[in-house]
A and B are shown apart, each in its own frame.
Chain A
Amino acid sequence: MPDDRPRISDRIFRMALAVLPSDFRGNYANEMHRVFREQQREAGERDGFAGLIKLWWETLTGLLTTGPREHWEILKQDVFYALRMMRKNFGFTIVAVLTLALGIGANTAIFSVVNAVLLSPLPYPKGRELVILRQQAQKQGVDNLAFSVKEIEDYRAQNGTFSGVAEYHSMTFTLLGRDEPLRVQTGVVSANYFDLFGIKPIQGRTFREDDDKLGAPAVLLVSYEFWKNSLDGDPNIVGKTFRMNDRVHTVVGVLPPVPQYPVENDVYMPTVACPFRGSKAMMEGRDHRMMNVFARMKDSVKLGAAGADVETIAGRLMQDYPKFYPASMGYRTITVPLKGELIKDARPTLLILLGATGFVLLIACANVANLTLARMTQRERELAVRSALGAGRSRLLRQLLTESVLIAALGAGLGLLFASGGMDLLQGFAARFTPRAREIRIDYVVLLFTFIVAAGTSIVFGSLAAFLSRESLAAGLKEGTGGASASRRRHRVRSLLIVSQIALSFLLLTGAGLMLRSFVKLQRVDPGFVPQHILAMKVSPNFTKYTKNDQYRALSNRMLESAKMRPGVMSVAISSSFPFDPDSVVFGLGINPYLIEGRPLKDGEAQPTSAARVASADYFKLLGIPILEGRSFTEADTKDAQQVAIVNQALVRHHWAGEDPIGHRISFDDGKTWQTIVGVVGDTKELALNQPADEQVYVPVDQYPQIGSLLVRTMGDPMSVARDIRQSVYDVDPDTALTHMQSLEAARSATLTSPRLTTDLLAVFAGLALVMAATGIGGIMALTVSQRLREIGIRMAMGAKPRDILRMVLRQGLGLGLTGIVVGLLAAIGLTRLLQTLLFEISPTDPITLGAVGLVLVSAAVISCLIPARRAAKTDPLAALRFE
């Protein structure tokens, strides 16, 4: 036939047929082609070129409607069939869906945190332009020195790279006008602060230039959380007034929920309203540094240019005011992106957790793939029958993939439910590391992630199973014999999967084990004081009422007396702050430069600095801090007596190593007054248990009248006297604000929350991994035993004892387990150093942890192999041989 020559139009037509399902093509392609050619010939003869064009158009549109419709039909059938098979194998379906749900759920949960905290841009317009300026004293190891009012003025006036420079500091003030005096964390900011961030209020307005002028009416902005929680979300809050620092403040607006850095503030006020910042010393003292500085870079300015600009200004200031920037301190000012600052604490933990959940998912995939493979063995007959009934190979593969996609989709849906159920927990967890925790939610990016993970998952376990059943499809018909090599290959793949599961479990268990050991060590750290039975609280007298030192002395004495009288109270102390004081944990202990009598500073030598704390006589006894030399403070250390100080061991080691420090004098005011050291006390870990104790100077409260905290040692549970103690303070002065009332034990434990949570999460993931790996190895051994029943029967008929059979099966299972452990160990040695930053006093390759994990996995392997092994050992050789 002349028409049989392959022509371009034939080839194009054949290509167009690709839109049809392969089964359909296999059945009708030749017929269709024949019909098309006949039509083509007729159309060409009858209508010429126009007829051909019309025919092509009709044919192609026809194919484009038929193709999708046929695919859809197949999909419907496959889904129907898959659902029926899933119902029939309900146990398999449940296990597979749950396994994947746990894997996908854990990944979705952790990714939602990673997405919100690390990946999303800051919730401020052009957040990338926002930076923090940080003044440092490098030679003193101080990386955040804060800025003085004068310095901020200079940076604001002299820079050429910022569109705005805003100042910020945070203090606690007492808000009156409600039932109880309310201690509010107050952000004190320049008027341009909120405009700089681009924060729009949800009610009222933010600050204007006029608000920050001397003599302006006092105004307040309230944070979203404070408005919701403490002001009951009052819709008419704007215009209401509060008394604060003896002035009436009017609320002008409510802020939206935005991350607050470095601390969460309840309210904000303009700088001019802060009585501390307004003092002459603060306004004029170039070295009175208290403020943070935020800035927004101009549109086209790069971080490097802004940083160079800031450094230039810093250099100029050092030249102009050498007195305030002694070379010995190593001053410099750096510019860091705000986002980096907000997430830097969270990054290592989150990335490690994401890695851990990734491993869990891989293990889950391997488990489900193994399950699917095992089930394929059972389904070989069914697939062979379908194949004999005319289902093509690709058609069957498509069917199998549909099943795995469905299972993955169900797993993903359930996993998503798990993840969204744990959202509150996750936010609480992330809040320990970053102010961005409130941004965590399941948004479209997270959904997309879950979708991709689920798709990837179904491809991994589905195509593996489908691929391996491909060769056995044909073999299945030939009743066992032909399938031998395919089944061997499948067995190899299953073993490989088990080995990788064990190896991944080893990694996860090692990570969790290291975190656990590190956590136990942290918990066992002796903080240097006895936190049990101590109630601690922050005390803030209304400072507008107490302006003279004598008033403070009298107040502190009255508070001590009043509290001491309460039942259940053993002793009471007043101090400026206390160990694990939440304020100190955020702001640090304070850096106070001092002089040592008789030791003038050499040229270029840095002035020594120390934390300093005011403490009443019973402070050391109450906290159980040992007096190592000299004496404690006494009632005799009054304002008119000799000025005294007590120092801790760390400070003694620094300045008087091997000497007796008692009797030496130090001065915190350039030699105007001198404190004589009268005692040495033990070191205390105050900010974090994983850091060495700071050098510390204590001075008596009568000589430095300052009230910041009240500590109470109790006979029983410290919280049981909380109400009584609160009343005892109000009895003395009802305008006093009490905050952060908690047992010192709880304060100490709070500092351990984030390592504890990280440890817990890793432990949960590792536990999941262990269970999956153990069931995996048990499952494959059970399958092996049932496949080798005949062989085992022969062995036993030849004289093998049940013990030999038991040993044989165990040996095989253990072989897989040990291979996995060796691979896991090698991987662990390479990978665990990523945990380094989170570990405390423990090496990432800690042999005890690695050994213990190995032991756990070996035991898990033995236990999970024991059931199939015993079944094998109990085999009746006759029955086994009769089988088949």
Chain B
Amino acid sequence: MSSKDRDREPQAPLTPAMFHILLALADGEKHGYAILKEVADRTGGKVQLSAGTLYGIIKRLDESGWILEKSQRPDIGFDDERRRYYQLTETGRRVAMAEASRLQEMVDMARAKRLVRKPRLA
């Protein structure tokens, strides 16, 4: 990947899985398993990422510069040192926000057409 490809804004809507991972990292760095668990918990098990798909997405998010593999690890004793942690980059945060507002707009439009019965906060 050359540098001009990095840090780019998304050209197309994110896939749901990508968005979920960005969401999972929005409140702090996590390792792979924690991401999986958070996504599964948050969606009530509706979105089930697996070890087979997770790292393909992580690789792409990493290459796009939206997430970053943390070089320092959390306190020894508090955590297992062999884990790799990921955190959202500034670009990643902007991308997630852009996607969230895009979704928001979509929902607003749907509401205007009376396709959404009752506004519900997540």
B52, A63: Cβ atoms closer than 8 Å: yes
Cβ-based interface call for A55 (8 A): yes
Chain B proximity mask over A25-40: 1 for CB below 8 Å, otherwise 0: 0011011111110110
Q: What residue in chain A is nearest B53 (Cβ atoms)?
A: A62
Cβ-based interface call for B32 (8 A): yes
B56, A69: Cβ atoms closer than 8 Å: yes
Cβ-based interface call for A720 (8 A): no
Q: How far is the CA of A38 from the CA of B49 in the complex (A)?
A: 13
A34, B32: Cβ atoms closer than 8 Å: yes
Q: What residue in chain A is nearest B54 (Cβ atoms)?
A: A35
Q: What residue in chain B is nearest A16 (Cβ atoms)?
A: B52
A59, B32: Cβ atoms closer than 8 Å: no
B48, A58: Cβ atoms closer than 8 Å: yes
Residues from chain B with a CB closer than 8 A to the CB of A694 are none
Give B23 Cβ to nearest chain A Cβ, in Å: 18
A62, B33: Cβ atoms closer than 8 Å: no
B53, A66: Cβ atoms closer than 8 Å: yes
Query: Which one, B31, B33, B52, B59, contacts A58 given CB within 8 A?
Result: B52
A59, B33: Cβ atoms closer than 8 Å: no
Residues from chain B with a CB closer than 8 A to the CB of A35 are 32-33, 36, 51, 54
Q: How far is the CA of A433 from the CA of B49 in the complex (A)?
A: 68
Cβ-based interface call for A70 (8 A): yes
A70, B56: Cβ atoms closer than 8 Å: yes
Query: Which one, B48, B51, B82, B83, contacts A32 given CB within 8 A?
Result: B51
Q: List CB contacts (< 8 Å) of B38-62 with chain A.
A: 48-56, 58-59
B52, A34: Cβ atoms closer than 8 Å: no
Given A24-B59, A58-B48, A39 and B53 contact (CB-CB distance below 8 Å): no
Q: List CB contacts (< 8 Å) of A42-82 with chain B.
A: 55, 58-66, 69-70
B36, A60: Cβ atoms closer than 8 Å: no
Cβ-based interface call for B84 (8 A): yes
Residues from chain A with a CB closer than 8 A to the CB of B58 are 28
Give B58 Cβ to nearest chain A Cβ, in Å: 8
Residues from chain B with a CB closer than 8 A to the CB of A66 are 52-53, 55-56
A65, B84: Cβ atoms closer than 8 Å: no
Given A55-B50, A58-B48, A28 and B55 contact (CB-CB distance below 8 Å): yes
A36, B51: Cβ atoms closer than 8 Å: yes
B32, A31: Cβ atoms closer than 8 Å: yes
Q: What residue in chain A is nearest B56 (Cβ atoms)?
A: A66
Q: What residue in chain A is nearest B84 (Cβ atoms)?
A: A31
Q: How far is the CA of A27 from the CA of B56 in the complex (A)?
A: 11
Given A27-B59, A31-B84, A60 and B52 contact (CB-CB distance below 8 Å): yes
Q: How far is the CA of A38 from the CA of B31 in the complex (A)?
A: 12
Q: How far is the CA of A33 from the CA of B54 in the complex (A)?
A: 12
Q: How far is the CA of A31 from the CA of B59 in the complex (A)?
A: 12
Residues from chain B with a CB closer than 8 A to the CB of A58 are 48, 50, 52
Can you list 9 contacts pairing A with B, beta carbon distance less than 8 Å?
A: A31-B55, A32-B51, A34-B32, A34-B33, A39-B50, A59-B51, A62-B52, A69-B56, A70-B56
Apart from A24-B56, A35-B51, A62-B53, list 9 A-B contacts with CB within 8 A. Answer: A24-B59, A28-B55, A28-B58, A31-B84, A36-B51, A61-B50, A62-B49, A63-B52, A66-B55
* Nearest 8 CB-CB pairings of A with B: A62-B52, A63-B52, A66-B56, A62-B53, A62-B50, A36-B51, A28-B55, A58-B50
